[in-house]
Structures are given as structure tokens and as C-alpha cells.
């Protein structure tokens, strides 16, 4: 089922696998189109359980001949402090799910660092913003949504004008990550994240939500008031958003 408005497409798929295949196809088409225009493409990438299946599909495409040699990527966020070789780091996630499996050039994969000392963070964040701009800007940004409506690590209450910065993680976000870290006490209290204004500058956004647990927050984000209390609601103001959900998420969503 597809619901389409001026700036938004909402797509429901029969399974998570189909949703991931759709997103991977969209990315492959973008790469092809940019290639025909004689230029590379810039992707904004996300981590978490939701996009994992998309990376699997993209790796499969690579084994079947798809090249990523002209792709530049910017990841949304990283825990802080966090050693990049730690299994829970988003750096590790990206290498093991994607970068190590395809032909991307490592110098074209931008990730936020988890181990920089506090006094360097501001400079690192503004260099990240500069790198996005220098790349020509993000063509397509992949996004998930937290159960409290966060996007990247932009928690409820974050200004819609925010830029890449060090932020405090919401208790809900830390609790949701606790199992991966072997206990809440091991989950970092902060993260470095692309800002909301940074994300909103992407030319196209694909928001993925999977399973019942995301239904009500996704519904609120798309149909409720646009408010900083629900960061994902800012996407109502973006000119080109595609929402991709599986049928479990859609079942609760439509009630």
C-alpha cells in the first residue's frame, strides 16, 4: 500500500525483507543515476537493527556486480566515549555490515569519532559539517526512529536548528541499548550526532520503521504536531521523505 502526498510517500511492505530490498534498490538507482550524470553520490547512513537488512541487500548487490567505488558516506552518530574497535561502536557496525564487504574507498566513509577528548569535539563537529558541504551535500539520508521519536541521537527537546554536536542520551535510548552493552551501566551517557538541521539538508530522506514497537511513535511523527518534543516530527517539513515500513509497523500505525 502506498500513500502519497506532496512531499511524502508512505510505503507499506509485506515483510521486513521486502522493505529492505526496496530501500537497497532505491540506493542502487541513485548510484546509477548519479553515475550517468558523471558524478558520485553521497549517502547519509544509519545504524541500528532497522537498516541492517538494507546493508545485507547492498552487499548482495555488490557480489552481483554493483560498485560503490564512487560513493561517499556520512554516518549519523556515534556513542561518546567509545573506542571505535569496540563491538558496540557504530564504526564497528558499519565496517562489519557494509564497508568491509563492498568496494567503498575508506577515505570516503565519514564517521564521527568516539574517542576524541572533549576539548576537540567542537572542532571535529564543525569539520564534519564542512566535509558534508564540500562533498556537495547528502543526496539520500537513511534514517531510523527511536522509540521516543529521536532521529540519530537527537533526543526530545533538541532544537530543530541543531548542528553536529555532543549530546546527552535519553534514559529510554540507553535502556533500549542496554542488552547490546550487557547492562544499562555499560551504555555511554553521551553521543556525537549529526544535528537536526544537518539531517534536514539532505535532498531526500528515507525513514525506515520496523515492527509494532515503532507504530505509535511513527504515527505521531507523521500525523501529530511538529514539535521539538518529538524530533522525527520535523520530517513533516522536509520536501522529499519516503517512509518505509513493514506490515507489523503499519498494522498499529493505521489504527
Residue 150 a catalytic site member: yes
Conformational region of residue 152, where left means phi above 0, alpha means psi within -120 to 50, and beta covers everything else: left
Q: Which of 44, 114, 144, 149 binds ligand GLP (CB under 6 A)?
A: 144
Residue 186 a catalytic site member: no
Please, are residues 132 and 196 in contact by the beta-carbon 8 Å criterion?
A: no
Q: Which of 76, 202, 206, 234 binds ligand GLP (CB under 6 A)?
A: 76
Quickly list DSSP for 133-149.
HHTT--SEEEE---TTS
Candidates 28-36, 143-151, 157-165, 238-246; binding stretch for ligand GLP (CB under 6 A): 143-151
Residue 119 a catalytic site member: no
The three-class DSSP label of residue 123 is helix
Residue 148 a catalytic site member: yes
Hey, which residues between 169 and 228 contact ligand GLP (CB under 6 A)? 173
Q: Which of 49, 131, 237, 254 binds ligand GLP (CB under 6 A)?
A: 49
The three-class DSSP label of residue 158 is coil
Q: Which of 85, 150, 80, 148 is nearest to 118 (CA)?
A: 80
Nearer to ligand GLP, 72 or 88 (CB): 88
Neighbouring residues of 110: CB distance < 8 A, sequence distance ≥ 6: 72, 73, 74, 75, 128, 131, 132
**Cα gap 167→171, rounded to integer Å:** 13
- Total interface residues for ligand GLP by CB under 6 A: 13
In the complex, what is the shortest distance from the CB of residue 147 to ligand GLP, in angstroms, rounded to a whole number?
7
Give the residues lining the site for ligand GLP (CB under 6 A). Answer: 46-50, 76-77, 144-146, 152-153, 173
As annotated, the active-site residues are 77, 148, 150, 155
Amino acid at each position: 500500500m502506498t500513500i502519497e502526498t506532496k512531499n511524502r510517500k508512505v510505503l507499506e511492505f509485506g515483510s521486513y525483507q521486502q522493505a529492505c530490498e526496496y530501500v537497497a534498490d532505491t540506493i542502487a538507482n541513485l548510484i546509477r543515476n548519479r553515475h550517468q550524470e558523471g558524478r558520485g553520490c553521497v549517502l547519509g547512513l544509519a545504524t541500528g537493527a532497522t537498516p541492517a537488512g538494507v546493508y545485507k541487500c547492498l552487499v548482495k548487490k555488490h557480489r552481483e556486480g554493483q560498485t560503490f567505488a564512487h560513493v561517499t558516506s556520512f554516518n549519523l552518530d556515534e556513542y561518546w566515549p567509545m573506542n571505535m574497535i569496540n563491538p558496540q561502536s557504530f564504526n564497528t557496525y558499519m565496517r562489519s555490515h557494509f564497508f568491509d564487504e563492498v568496494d567503498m574507498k575508506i577515505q570516503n566513509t565519514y564517521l564521527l569519532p568516539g574517542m576524541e577528548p572533549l576539548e576537540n569535539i567542537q572542532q571535529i563537529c564543525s569539520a564534519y559539517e564542512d566535509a558534508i558541504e564540500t562533498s556537495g551535500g547528502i543526496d539520500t539520508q537513511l534514517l531510523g526512529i527511536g522509540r521516543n521519536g529521536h532521529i540519530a541521537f537527537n533526543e526530545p527537546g533538541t532544537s530543530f536548528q541543531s548542528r553536529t554536536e555532543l549530546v546527552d542520551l535519553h534514559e529510554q535510548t540507553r535502556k533500549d541499548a542496554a542488552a547490546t552493552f550487557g547492562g544499562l551501566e555499560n551504555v555511554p551517557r553521551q553521543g556525537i550526532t549529526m544535528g537536526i538541521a544537518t539531517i534536514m539538508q539532505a535532498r531526500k530522506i528515507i525513514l525506515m520503521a520496523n515492527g509494532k514497537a515503532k507504530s505509535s511513535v511513527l504515527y505521531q511523527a507523521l500525523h501529530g504536531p511538529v514539535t521539538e518534543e518529538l524530533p522525527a516530527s520535523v520530517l513533516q517539513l522536509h520536501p522529499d521523505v519516503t517512509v518505509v515500513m513493514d506490515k507489523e509497523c503499519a498494522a498499529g500505525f493505521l489504527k
